[in-house]
């Protein structure tokens, strides 16, 4: 906001007009963040009603579409009011990302809960309390950590001064 819309320069001397314009843009960007927060709160409040009329997939698609259009148009525009009004779309996506994936999981994977209950019941009985669930969660977190570090391939940055390699490796390949 400070650089593009207000045409300021954060590296300019602090007493210059360019730096003052940049600061004014940053202040106006704070209003954009307020619009973003209010739109996220409002959309979260009406999301349950929207779920009654539209499918979760449709709402998820709409959130990404709105965000894509909003950011694209905000990038193309230097008009303050256009950029501020498009901050609404950021709140729509944020609200959707905080709620809809969990709703989708619940909708599509309700039957595996029976398997979890069947496994956790004997584990709880074996350990003699609810600590079994925590032990199991801890063990699975450790397994996930090992899996992500040994089996998932990450693009490693080249050491400084060396050309980038096209090869990818697991995170702990060199340990």
Candidate from 78-82, 85-89, 164-168 with smallest mean pLDDT: 164-168
Give the model confidence (pLDDT) of 127-148 as tens digits: 777 667 777 777 877 887 777 6
pTM, whole model, 2 decimals? 0.56
Q: Do residues 24 and 4 make contact, with C-beta atoms less than 8 angstroms apart? A: no
What are the domain boundaries of the chain?
17-108, 113-170
Task: Read off the pLDDT band of 154 (50, 70, 90).
Answer: low
């Amino acid at each position: 906001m400070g650089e593009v819309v207000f045409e300021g320069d954060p590296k300019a001397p602090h007493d210059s007009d360019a730096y003052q314009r940049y600061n004014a843009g940053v202040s106006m960007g704070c209003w954009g963040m307020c619009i973003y927060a209010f739109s996220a709160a409002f959309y979260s409040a009406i999301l349950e009603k929207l779920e009654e009329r539209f499918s979760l997939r449709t709402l998820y698609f709409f959130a990404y579409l709105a965000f894509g259009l909003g950011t694209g148009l905000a990038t193309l525009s230097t008009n303050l009011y256009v950029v501020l009004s498009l901050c609404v779309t950021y709140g729509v996506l944020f609200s959707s990302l905080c709620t809809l994936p969990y709703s989708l999981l619940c909708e599509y994977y309700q039957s595996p809960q029976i398997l979890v209950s069947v496994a956790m019941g004997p584990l709880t009985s074996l350990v003699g309390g609810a600590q079994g669930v925590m032990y199991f969660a801890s063990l699975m977190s450790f397994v996930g950590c090992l899996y992500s570090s040994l089996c998932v391939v990450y693009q490693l940055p080249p050491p400084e001064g060396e050309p980038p390699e096209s090869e990818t490796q697991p995170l702990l390949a060199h340990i």
